[in-house]
Amino acid sequence: MDVNFDIKNLTSFKIGGQIARMYFPTSVEEFVEIKSKEPDAFIAGNLSNILVSSDGYNGAVICTKKIDNISFDGNRVIAGAGVRGTKLSKLALENNLSGLEFMIAFPGSVGGEVFMNAGAHGQMIADVLKSAKVFCPEKGVIKLSNEELEFSYRTSICQRKPYSVLEAEFELTPSNKEAIQEKMNENLSFRQNKQPALTLPNCGSTFRNPQGDSAGRLLDEAGVKGMVSGGVRVWENHANFIINDGDGTSLDVLRLMDKMYSKVKEMFNIELKPEVRYLGGNNEEEVMICKKLKML
């Protein structure tokens, strides 16, 4: 356990204060042991879509990034929650297996990607996931099938119940390297043109796409591109990304999200749902904005 752990450099946003108690388990067994001592701990993966308050967090955080086991058996692969999506995608390529090409430039890890049913370029986790091991407070570690995970757009049962994803089993399709690589190259090219490089601190898409529409289109038409709040701004090339220019705070981000949300609601009467998750609670204004945006 790390006490008063400075989390800023671990987050994709490069924003965040001190965590009172921080844990990095290296196995499912170690995770279960820690969770028994810290039942209310916040579970984090690669911290790629989490906005951590600059005022810190008074509780415990369990980061699963070191649960990173990987094994292949024919066209099946088992990966720990902490395995980076990009790494798994490349290993699938090496094993002539198709189905994970969409992960090639994902900043997140397997646990978070299953949790939110991540997807891109017409592919998503639900298409290739056979089962997942999750921690359930009442039953301990249980195995859920694809159907039991209740996947839908950018969500799973793990967002509705207190489940933590610890391991995932994927069933992939044998293919040839050239075809897989071609698809990966297309995905990489798309992301390079449409999304900010990971060297620009950001949390990926800020808001989810509403049914049958695009959050980026709505935000663009609402005129938010280039909008600034303290040390953060809406990216000039795509209105659904917030960039931290180096000294941004969590309050800067939330104030900007509030402006973006309000502009779209005012113009289209659509309430955008944040894709970014929040960890904090020490700052009253942050809590107020998070409640308005239904992030708490």
Instruction: Provide the annotated active-site residues.
Output: 154, 205, 275
What 8-state DSSP symbol labels residue 35? H
Please check the confidence at residue 147 and state whether its pLDDT lies above 80.
yes
122 — pLDDT class (breaks 50, 70, 90): confident
Tell me the DSSP string of 174-224: E--HHHHHHHHHHHHHHHHHHS--TTS-B-S-SBPPPTTS-HHHHHHHTT-
d(CA 15, CA 43): 18
For the CA atoms of 180, 186, 190, 192, the dihedral, rounded to the nearest 10 degrees, stands at 80
Closest CA to 19 of 8, 30, 35: 8
- Residue 146: what residue type? N
pLDDT in tens, 185-205: 998 888 877 788 878 999 989
Q: What is the pLDDT of residue 222?
A: 98
Residue 41 has pLDDT above 90, yes or no: yes
Indicate whether 290 pLDDT > 90: yes
Domain ranges of the chain: 70-194
Residues 155-176 have pLDDT tens digits of: 999 999 999 999 999 999 999 9
Question: With DSSP H G I counted as helix, E B as strand and the rest as coil, what are the percentages for the chain, rounded to 5?
Answer: 30, 25, 40
CB 124 within 8 A of CB 117: yes
CATH code that applies to domain 70-194? 3.30.465.10
Cα 66 from Cα 59, distance rounded (Å): 20
Cβ atoms of 283 and 255 closer than 8 Å = no
